[in-house]
Amino acid sequence: MSNFNVAKFGGTSVANFEAMSRCASIVENNPQTKLIVSSACSGVTNILVALANGVQDAEQRDSLVNQLADIHHAVLDQLSDPVETEKSIQTILSSVASAAEAASYQPSKKLTDHLVSTGELMSTLLLTQIFKERGNNAVRFDIRDVMRTDDNYGKAEAQLETIFSLAQEKLLPLCESNIVITQGFIGSDSEGNTTTFGRGGSDYSAALIAEAVQANGLEIWTDVPGIYTTDPRIAPKATPIPEISFSEASEMANFGAKILHPSTLVPALRHDIPVFVGSSKQPEKGGTWIRHQVQSKPLFRALALRRNQTMVTLRSASMFHAYGFLAKVFEILAKHKISVDLITTSEISVSLTLDQTDTTGGAPELPATAKAELEELCTVEVENDLCVVALIGNNISKQKGYASQVFSAVENFNLKMICYGASPNNLCFLVHESESTDAIEKLHFELFEQ
Ligand code: ASP
Ligand code: MG
């Protein structure tokens, strides 16, 4: 095991010169932290995604590229020695302009990944220079030399063994006498093409890197001082949670607490690496530790909301007392690489929600080809504008009496797909988008504010 931590800084943590300087002082205050994984500067990936989707109007394209230039130049302007960094950023911006033009003729997932990766490539150039100017031994490392993935652009899959051996060979020795700054979100396939892990993928990158260098701990620095009982913008009385178990936290990540990318905890859990979540703006406020073993195990720990759900309901009379129906359904979904999130079944129907993780954002869609194949088996109904409300806690399915407390709080809402029992750590259901924040507010009041 290495004796250092990996720290990931999210987009708002590296939004500008001041924010980046705060990151540097967090790292300087903790000599244990050696390896830094950075997101793109706040707002940059959104602009790059817009360009990658294909902007026909040349003027509009230029204006988006100028916005990118402004964000990065604002940092360059505050460097003491910007010359080399500026040259590198300029080269990247020119490549963005030509790739954006290509995307306006013919967008593709491969081109999208090539384009959106430039956000992290630019932010790490700036961050490294800031670390250096503050007197640190800092080096920038192109993570594409280590982060090997398949070629599923926009939602690449990590190739763990290769990542492990490349990290041991190329990354670990660098950390011995340097602070190493590298990119989250991006990787490369075996042919050297750039890939990405999907929006918000830097957390996952950082966890993979922490796993590959066998780090002591993983710090996720973001814009909130840890994980809260729910999103304080929805329920202002939400409170921070000092510690939470991996099992609870993975349910939270899965169920839409946007604090962590859903896959983040998988590598940390595999290697039992404690994960810290804190605010780079207010590091003194502490944060949340996610660990294997925790001291307290309350029945209700937190409430999470995941928007943009697509529910698919499949009905077939031939499901009645038959076997193999679900196997066929899942065979079709697997063939189309559609990942399923929630599922409930009855005698002749099954409802499921589609996972959403790819780089373009937006509600996940059931591809027409997959729908056509499913329609050979059964009727297919697709419903959008839904949200998952998830209640996270401990031993939920083993307690008596809690159901009336939970369901009376949401008695006025139309609940769909109530799921519980599969995990002792969560109970969840779908509500319409228009009712979602109300439902969270009512539940938080009932379960956490009494
Ligand atoms: N920059 C990417 C995004 O905005 C990845 C990340 O920040 O995690 O989605
Ligand atoms: Mg993020």
Is the distance from the beta carbon of residue 45 to the nearest atom of ligand 1 less than 6 Å?
yes
Q: Whose Cα sits closest to atom 8 in ligand 1?
A: 200
Question: What CATH number has the domain bearing residue 343?
Answer: 3.30.2130.10
Distances (CA, A) of 314 to 24, 189, 333, 422: 52, 36, 12, 21
Residue 245 maps to a domain: no
Give tens-digit pLDDT for 357-390.
555 556 788 999 999 999 999 999 999 999 999 9
Give tens-digit pLDDT for 391-412.
999 988 788 888 889 999 999 9
* pLDDT given for residue 333 in this prediction: 93
Distances (CA, A) of 38 to 11, 59, 212, 255, 342: 8, 31, 17, 24, 31
* Average pLDDT of the segment spanning 316-334: 83
Residues 306 and 173 in one domain: no
Residue 49 has pLDDT above 60, yes or no: yes
* pLDDT given for residue 199 in this prediction: 92
Quick one: which atom of ligand 1 is closest to the CA of 120?
1
Domain boundary among the residues 173, 206, 222 is at 222
* pLDDT given for residue 443 in this prediction: 97
Residues 195 and 331 in one domain: no
Question: What CATH number has the domain bearing residue 27?
Answer: 3.40.1160.10
C-alpha 13 – ligand 2 centre gap (Å) = 10
Residue 295 maps to a domain: no
Could you tell me the end-to-end alpha-carbon distance of the chain, in angstroms, rounded to an integer? 44
Residues 208 and 66 in one domain: yes
Residues 306 and 190 in one domain: no
Ligand nearest to the backbone CA of 120 = 1
Which residues does 57 contact at the CB level (< 8 Å), separation at least 6? none
* pLDDT given for residue 224 in this prediction: 86
Q: Which of 185, 280, 359, 360 to mutate to test the pocket of ligand 1 (most atoms within 8 A of CB)?
A: 185
Is the distance from the beta carbon of residue 118 to the nearest atom of ligand 1 less than 6 Å?
no
Residue 241's region, left for phi above 0, alpha for psi from -120 to 50, else beta, is: beta
Residue 356 has pLDDT above 70, yes or no: no
Residue 353 maps to a domain: yes
Domain boundary among the residues 170, 188, 222 is at 222
Residues 332 and 425 in one domain: yes
Residue 256 maps to a domain: no
Residues 38 and 152 in one domain: yes
Is the distance from the beta carbon of residue 262 to the nearest atom of ligand 1 less than 6 Å?
no
Residue 244 has pLDDT above 70, yes or no: yes
Residues 208 and 334 in one domain: no
* pLDDT given for residue 391 in this prediction: 94
Residue type, 431: V
Residues 216 and 311 in one domain: no
* Average pLDDT of the segment spanning 183-187: 98
Residue 374 maps to a domain: yes
DSSP states of 270-333 as a string? HTT--EEEEESS-GGG-EEEEESS-S---SEEEEEEEEEEEEEEEE-GGGTT-SSHHHHHHHHH
* Tokens 């009905």, residue located: 315
Res. 295 pLDDT band, cuts 50 70 90: very high
Residue 232 maps to a domain: no
Q: Which of 123, 194, 202, 221 to mutate to test the pocket of ligand 1 (most atoms within 8 A of CB)?
A: 202
Q: Which of 12, 39, 48, 359 to mutate to test the pocket of ligand 1 (most atoms within 8 A of CB)?
A: 39
- Residue 97 in contact with residue 65, Cβ under 8 Å? yes
| pLDDT over 90 percentage in the chain | 78
* pLDDT given for residue 361 in this prediction: 59
Residue 198 has pLDDT above 90, yes or no: yes
Task: Of 137-146, 223-232, 289-298, give the range with the top mean pLDDT.
Answer: 137-146
Is the distance from the beta carbon of residue 202 to the nearest atom of ligand 1 less than 6 Å?
yes
Residues 93 and 217 in one domain: yes
Residue 292 maps to a domain: no
Res. 36 pLDDT band, cuts 50 70 90: very high
- Weakest mean pLDDT among 74-78, 201-205, 249-253, 353-357: 353-357
* Tokens 């959104």, residue located: 46
Residues 34 and 167 in one domain: yes
The one-character DSSP state at 155 is S
Residue 281 maps to a domain: no
For the chain, how many structural domains are there in total?
2
C-alpha 261 – ligand 1 centre gap (Å) = 10
Is the distance from the beta carbon of residue 116 to the nearest atom of ligand 1 less than 6 Å?
no
Task: Of 224-228, 246-250, 263-267, 436-440, give the range with the top mean pLDDT.
Answer: 436-440
Quick one: which atom of ligand 1 is closest to the CA of 205?
8
Domain with 165 in it: 5-222
Residue 1 has pLDDT above 80, yes or no: no
Domain boundary among the residues 170, 200, 222 is at 222
